[in-house]
Amino acid sequence: MTKASNLPQWKDMPPVEGMPHGTAWRLFDKDGVRDEVGTLDLLTPEVVVEAGKEIKTGKSVVLNWGLEHVAEPGFGRIKLEHEVIDWRKIQHFYSYDDEIKLNPQAGSQWDGLRHFGHSETGLYYNNIHHDDLLDTDRIGIDHWSKRGGIVGRGVLLDYVRYVERHSIKYNAMSSYCITVANIEAMAKEEGVEFKPGNLLIVRSGWMNWCNEHSVEDRIKYITNGKEYVGVEGSEESVEWLWDHHFSAVAGDAIGWEVWPPQLPRRIHDHIALWGMPIGELWDLEALAKECEAQNRWSFFFTSTPLNLKGGVSSTPNALAVF
């Protein structure tokens, strides 16, 4: 595993031929073995033990959005299909099974390292091309399970509460940018100290909008929508994210970064450049309330992604523990 102290700052990152500045290929390799999990390597045993100190009350909060809400998915993804099998009608004993057809990226999700390649070259994390990826077992979601899942310290930056305090008006179904200046201001007001290996979670208000609007509105602005709130995709954003050495980022927005994405610094490209997991469509409403109640915005975090060989994405199965 790689300690954050061993990584260069953004300005000092070594060049990778044919790729933009900031490409982290081979920085997480160890003993000549090509790395498979990217920034999750920052979750060292020492970081996890330190994160355990966040547990003070034993209160836990689930961060998965209910699957029943995946009714109007964006980007043309399929709806959830759920069938309950009554075994009494088949084998004459009292039992039920579930059969589920689901695109994990229609609801609460992790974008795995196979999900997104670099926009200009088609290369995925640690230099494997789109056309070659599926012929290997490289960088599948199963590698996250093999390393023991995702366990560490999470921090919530609550933009919904921030704009309320500052009387800022915005529309979550627009290409509204949450900037680095906003992020730093939220952290200061919440008293959040960032530590290497943290999971950064941003509550943008996207989920809150869904809860307050009708099915017709959700179809209009989500299923058929083209603009969504998110973190600004810019040189400043990616430099700030890298220099803070987060293990992953996540939030309640449909794309985490603002949509349409902003080139040339599309944050999703950094799944390919850094091997950085991105969590989307997480239900942060209960988490935000618990943070307010306890007056702290950091917590112990766990996630057990699907142990699916060659998997592209996963439900997060995430918990925050206070």
- How confident is the model at residue 70, as a pLDDT? 72
- How confident is the model at residue 1, as a pLDDT? 65
Please say whether the beta carbons of 260 and 175 come within 8 A: yes
Q: Which residues contact 139 (CB under 8 A, 6 or more apart)?
A: 36, 37, 112, 113, 114, 124, 125, 126, 128, 133, 275
Mean pLDDT taken over the chain: 94
For domain 4-321, give the fold. Glucose Oxidase; domain 1 (3.50.30)
* 42-55 pLDDT per residue, tens: 999 999 999 999 99
Q: How confident is the model at residue 221 (pLDDT cuts 50, 70, 90)?
A: confident
Average pLDDT over every residue of 134-151? 96
Strands 109-111 and 313-314: antiparallel
d(CA 105, CA 280): 8
Structural domain spans, the chain: 4-321
* 67-101 pLDDT per residue, tens: 888 767 777 888 888 999 998 888 888 999 999 99
With CA atoms as reference, report the closest residue to 144 among 320, 262, 276. Answer: 276
Phi first, then psi, for residue 183 (nearest 5°) are -60, -45
With CA atoms as reference, report the closest residue to 286 among 177, 189, 156, 165. Answer: 156
Q: Is 148 left (phi over 0), alpha (psi -120 to 50) or beta?
A: left
